[in-house]
């Protein structure tokens, strides 16, 4: 059934020149489908981009998505919906899309109005966590067809509740290799007369190359002409974290065994044409990988389809394609087994050639023209059903939070306010004021900002900032665990600790970096957090709330810390007690007045309820949140100078109350917690209105947020804005935007 649609076919995934297997697969699939149709104008790609500088993509790529920028997923969906696309084919691997378990992809899938075919490159047998389960279930629900590349994958999906009729088996495509001698290819690599064992792929420890090197130490004394070629650069993600540690380990192992003439490293990512030449030059293809849960391997499919003898550990992929004598499977982490298998086949040419013939015959059905036809048949079937599918899609509700309607979070002004010591307190417009020095409050807030910015965007500048803010807070901590409150620009300080709100915020900042910052910082920050934690029980009400939030984030990483859990319970009980002491005559709040950053207190109870599942925490959080909304919001927006509110318990008089950007932040945060715990969409709508206050949707129609720099003015004096773009306000605005980014992909839309 050839594809007859007038609409285009769009492929989403990594794309060359990005160096990874998914990029190669997407590129090859696009080209094969375009060639099968005979019209390249009907096929295009949307490429996932994981670097700040991006890639020089070919003309086939019409749009790129920055992995950690949620708004790009929305824009891509709009591009698809407006580009006469008939089918969207998604290459799915959990690590290539932003958010936890690639949850940002759902923003795009919820918004597109075309049939969706999802190609699953990874299937996990055991769910990892609740987020993984939710992301996977929605991905499958929104896909009209799921393509898998192995028989085993079908049963795994069915066992997890996926309808069998929704699943299609289309094996990994391969080039059309000749079944011929390989000596001429060996000559081109100066390997003439050698028996060649090849392994290819981006290097990382899970590849198990050391066991193949161990096998070579057993084989070379018997077969001196044997050469093992390790082809491939180290994985970019490994380079960032460990450098070339693994490759150097392997090279030292080669030297230790005296195998320098028999083990060759080619440290580069090769294009398909050159890879095929290496495969053609090889006799064996070794796959000593240490991970069983690999459902597909492109290079293993290539080697099999070229009629090479594949010797592999028992991954799911190997068990699938090497069955029926098409290859050899040996135990994990066992160099002796690799050596024995290869030695036997080098001695038994008949068995060697039988495996080659079976492998090559199996691969004939998976050359790219055949695979492209299978995809086109599937696409044509969905094209004919398109009216029904699009009708179903239109039943989805429009998301309440769309990041495209908000400014893109920026670090420009934060960078300008930060020197080698930390973030300065104040600025005159955009010009930092050194004479006012630094506060621990602001640097604790900045820890949260840098951690969150890095987590959601991957921006390396945020990581550099995080190191500075953590260093500041560590330095500010005294031996008794308390934190000094401020430093002059010359780094002078008083030995006295900062006020208790400073102690609470420091715990909040450290706790966030432990729970959601880069994992290698968690244990470093833990020492400082643990040192300060005993003081949490002595703090005032609002500082107690900050400390409780810090514990909430802390316990998301160190889940079994009983002492921390007990202290969180005591802090939450204290907040409930303060609330109950004052709750009378319509005043249902934790203190006798509403003051800045009030939303932190019900936020802390929401967080405590999440960890401890205590009904009284949830009940109090709901009542306090609704009370705060009633006092802070008028006519659907945060009230400013024109609104007079009863913010003092002891007085029936109305008083003017001028909110600050930090109030907008904590309204956003408490509304975020409220929605997560209740799924009541009123909180999402108010969350949006809370940030709008900073954009000028307030009684005075004064915009406080600077879209050019990401700075934010402190508030409004009379009918004008305060010209201080200080750290507190700038960080508050940035954190508000990041929370909206978080919720854009967590909201329910169906």
Mind listing the pLDDT tens digit for each residue in 709-738? 999 998 776 566 677 899 999 999 999 999
Does residue 128 sit in the same domain as residue 35? yes
Query: Is the residue at 602 inside a domain?
Result: yes
- Residue 87 pairs with which residues in a beta bridge? 9
pLDDT tens track for 29-86: 999 999 999 988 999 999 999 988 899 999 999 999 999 888 899 999 999 999 999 9
Does residue 346 sit in the same domain as residue 380? no
Report how far residue 694's alpha carbon sits from residue 732's, in angstroms, rounded to the nearest whole number.
10
Report how far residue 737's alpha carbon sits from residue 4's, in angstroms, rounded to the nearest whole number.
45
- Tell me which of 234-238, 248-252, 595-599 is least confident: 234-238
Does residue 509 sit in the same domain as residue 602? yes
Residue 95 confidence (pLDDT): 87
Does residue 163 sit in the same domain as residue 201? no
Does residue 228 sit in the same domain as residue 161? no
Does residue 188 sit in the same domain as residue 220? yes
φ, ψ (nearest 5 deg) of residue 311:
-115, 120
Residue 642 confidence (pLDDT): 36
Query: Is the residue at 750 inside a domain?
Result: no
Q: Is the pTM of the predicted complex or chain greater than 0.85?
A: no
pLDDT at 265 over 80: yes
Mean pLDDT across the chain: 91
Residue 697 confidence (pLDDT): 84
pLDDT tens track for 300-358: 999 999 999 999 999 999 999 999 999 999 999 999 999 999 999 999 999 999 999 99
- Which two three-digit tokens encode residue 594? 């509403």
CATH code, domain carrying 201: 3.40.50.2000
Structural domain count of the chain: 3
What band does 381 get if pLDDT is binned at 50, 70 and 90? very high
What band does 266 get if pLDDT is binned at 50, 70 and 90? very high
Does residue 169 sit in the same domain as residue 188? no
φ, ψ (nearest 5 deg) of residue 611:
-80, -40
- Structural domain for 114, as ranges: 8-173+368-393
**Between these two residues, 369 and 744, which has the higher pLDDT value?**
369
What band does 20 get if pLDDT is binned at 50, 70 and 90? confident
Cβ-contact 553, 515 below 8 angstroms: yes
pLDDT at 652 over 70: no
Mean pLDDT, to the nearest integer, of 378-382? 94
Query: Is the residue at 2 inside a domain?
Result: no
Q: Supply the DSSP symbol for 461.
A: H
Query: Is the residue at 212 inside a domain?
Result: yes
Question: Alpha-carbon torsion 406, 408, 409, 410, what sign?
Answer: negative
**Between these two residues, 408 and 230, which has the higher pLDDT value?**
230
pLDDT at 392 over 70: no
Residue 718 confidence (pLDDT): 58
What band does 644 get if pLDDT is binned at 50, 70 and 90? very low
Number of other CB atoms surrounding residue 474 within 10 Å: 15
Does residue 156 sit in the same domain as residue 304? no
Residue 750 confidence (pLDDT): 46
What band does 749 get if pLDDT is binned at 50, 70 and 90? low
The number of C-alpha atoms within 13 Å of 637 and in the hemisphere containing its C-beta is: 16
- Which two three-digit tokens encode residue 155? 């049963």
pLDDT at 7 over 90: no
Cα-based torsion angle of the residue sequence 201, 204, 209, 210 in order, rounded to the nearest 10 degrees: 160
Residue 64 Rama label (left phi>0; alpha psi -120 to 50; beta): beta
Does residue 526 sit in the same domain as residue 498? yes
Give the helix/strand (H/E) hosting 34: helix 21-37
Mean pLDDT, to the nearest integer, of 261-284? 92
Report how far residue 262's alpha carbon sits from residue 201's, in angstroms, rounded to the nearest whole number.
19
Residue 345 confidence (pLDDT): 97
What band does 640 get if pLDDT is binned at 50, 70 and 90? low
Does residue 154 sit in the same domain as residue 191? no
Report how far residue 312's alpha carbon sits from residue 38's, in angstroms, rounded to the nearest whole number.
38
Mean pLDDT, to the nearest integer, of 439-463? 94
Query: Is the residue at 36 inside a domain?
Result: yes
Query: Is the residue at 178 inside a domain?
Result: no
Q: Among residues 393, 428, 463, which one ends one of the domains? A: 393
pLDDT at 595 over 70: yes
Mean pLDDT, to the nearest integer, of 583-607? 91
Give the helix/strand (H/E) hosting 391: helix 386-393
CATH code, domain carrying 572: 1.50.10.10
Query: Is the residue at 59 inside a domain?
Result: yes
Residue 717 confidence (pLDDT): 64
DSSP string, 508-538: HHHHHHHHHS-HHHHHHHHHHHHHHGGGGGG
CA distances 355 to 175, 284, 326, 328, Å, are 19, 11, 5, 9
Report how far residue 726's alpha carbon sits from residue 424's, in angstroms, rounded to the nearest whole number.
8
Does residue 686 sit in the same domain as residue 641? yes
Cβ-contact 696, 702 below 8 angstroms: yes
pLDDT tens track for 114-171: 999 999 999 887 766 888 888 999 999 999 999 999 999 999 999 989 999 999 999 9
pLDDT at 645 over 50: no
Does residue 164 sit in the same domain as residue 203? no
């Amino acid at each position: 059934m050839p594809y007859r649609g007038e609409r285009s076919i769009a492929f989403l995934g990594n794309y060359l020149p990005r160096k990874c297997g998914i990029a190669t697969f997407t590129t090859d699939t696009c080209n094969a489908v375009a060639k099968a149709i005979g019209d390249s104008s009907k096929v295009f790609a949307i490429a996932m981009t994981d670097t700040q500088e991006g890639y020089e993509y070919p003309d086939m790529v019409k749009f790129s998505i920055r992995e950690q920028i949620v708004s790009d997923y929305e824009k891509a969906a709009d591009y698809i919906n407006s580009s006469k696309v008939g089918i969207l084919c998604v290459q799915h691997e959990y690590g290539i899309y932003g958010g936890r378990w690639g949850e940002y992809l759902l923003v795009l899938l919820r918004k597109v109005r075309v049939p969706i075919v999802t190609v699953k490159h990874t299937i996990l047998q055991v769910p990892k966590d609740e987020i993984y389960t939710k992301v996977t279930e929605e991905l499958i629900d929104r896909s009209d067809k799921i393509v898998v590349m192995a028989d085993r994958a079908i049963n795994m999906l069915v066992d997890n509740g996926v309808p069998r009729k929704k699943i299609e088996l289309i094996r990994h495509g391969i080039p059309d290799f000749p079944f011929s001698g390989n000596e001429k290819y060996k000559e081109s690599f100066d390997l003439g007369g050698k028996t060649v064992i090849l392994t290819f792929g981006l290097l990382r420890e899970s590849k198990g190359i050391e066991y193949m090197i161990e096998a070579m130490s057993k084989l070379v004394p018997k077969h001196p002409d044997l050469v093992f070629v390790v082809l491939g650069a180290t994985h970019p993600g490994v380079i960032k974290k460990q450098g070339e540690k693994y490759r150097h380990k392997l090279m030292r192992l080669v030297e230790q065994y005296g195998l320098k003439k028999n083990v060759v490293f080619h440290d580069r990512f090769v294009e398909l044409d050159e890879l095929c030449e290496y495969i053609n030059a090889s006799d064996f293809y070794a796959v000593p990988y240490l991970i069983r849960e690999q459902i597909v391997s492109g290079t293993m499919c290539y080697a099999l389809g070229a009629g090479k003898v594949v010797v592999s550990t028992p991954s799911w992929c190997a068990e699938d394609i090497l069955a029926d004598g098409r290859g050899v499977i040996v135990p994990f982490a066992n160099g002796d087994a690799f050596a024995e298998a290869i030695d036997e086949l080098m001695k038994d040419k008949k068995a060697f050639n039988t495996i080659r013939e079976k492998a090559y015959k199996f691969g004939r059905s998976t050359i790219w023209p055949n695979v492209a036809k299978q995809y086109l048949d599937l696409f044509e079937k969905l094209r004919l059903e398109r009216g029904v599918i699009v009708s179903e899609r239109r039943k989805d509700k429009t998301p309440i939070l769309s990041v495209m309607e908000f400014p893109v979070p920026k670090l420009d002004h934060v960078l300008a306010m930060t020197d080698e010591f930390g973030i300065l307190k104040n600025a005159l417009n955009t010009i930092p004021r050194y004479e006012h020095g630094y506060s621990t409050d602001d640097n604790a807030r900045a820890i949260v900002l840098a951690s969150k910015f890095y987590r959601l965007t991957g921006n390396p500048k945020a990581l550099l900032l995080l190191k500075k803010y953590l260093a500041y807070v560590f330095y500010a901590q005294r031996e008794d665990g308390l934190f000094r409150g401020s430093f002059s620009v010359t780094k002078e300080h008083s030995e006295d600790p900062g006020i208790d709100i400073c102690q609470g915020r420091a715990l909040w900042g450290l706790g966030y970096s432990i729970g959601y910052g880069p994992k290698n910082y968690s244990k470093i920050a833990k020492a400082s957090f643990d040192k300060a934690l005993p003081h949490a029980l002595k703090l005032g009400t609002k500082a107690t709330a900050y400390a409780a939030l810090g514990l909430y984030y802390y316990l998301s990483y160190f889940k079994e810390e009983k002492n921390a859990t007990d202290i969180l319970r005591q802090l939450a009980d204290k907040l409930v007690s303060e609330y109950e002491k004052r709750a009378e005559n319509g005043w249902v709040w934790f203190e006798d007045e509403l003051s800045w950053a009030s939303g932190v207190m019900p936020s802390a109870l929401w967080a405590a309820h999440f960890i401890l599942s205590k009904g009284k925490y949830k009940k109090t959080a709901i009542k306090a949140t609704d009370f705060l909304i009633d006092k802070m919001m008028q006519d659907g927006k945060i009230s400013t100078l024109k609104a007079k509110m009863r913010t003092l318990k002891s007085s029936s008089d109305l008083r003017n109350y001028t909110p600050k950007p930090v109030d907008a932040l904590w309204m956003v945060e408490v509304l975020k917690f409220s929605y997560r715990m209740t799924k009541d969409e009123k909180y999402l709508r108010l969350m949006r209105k809370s940030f709008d206050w900073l954009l000028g949707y307030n009684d005075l129609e004064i915009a406080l947020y600077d879209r050019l720099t990401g700075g934010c003015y402190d508030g409004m004096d009379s009918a004008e804005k305060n010209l201080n773009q200080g750290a507190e306000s700038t960080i508050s605005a940035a954190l508000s935007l990041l929370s909206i980014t978080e919720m854009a992909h967590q909201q329910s839309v169906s």
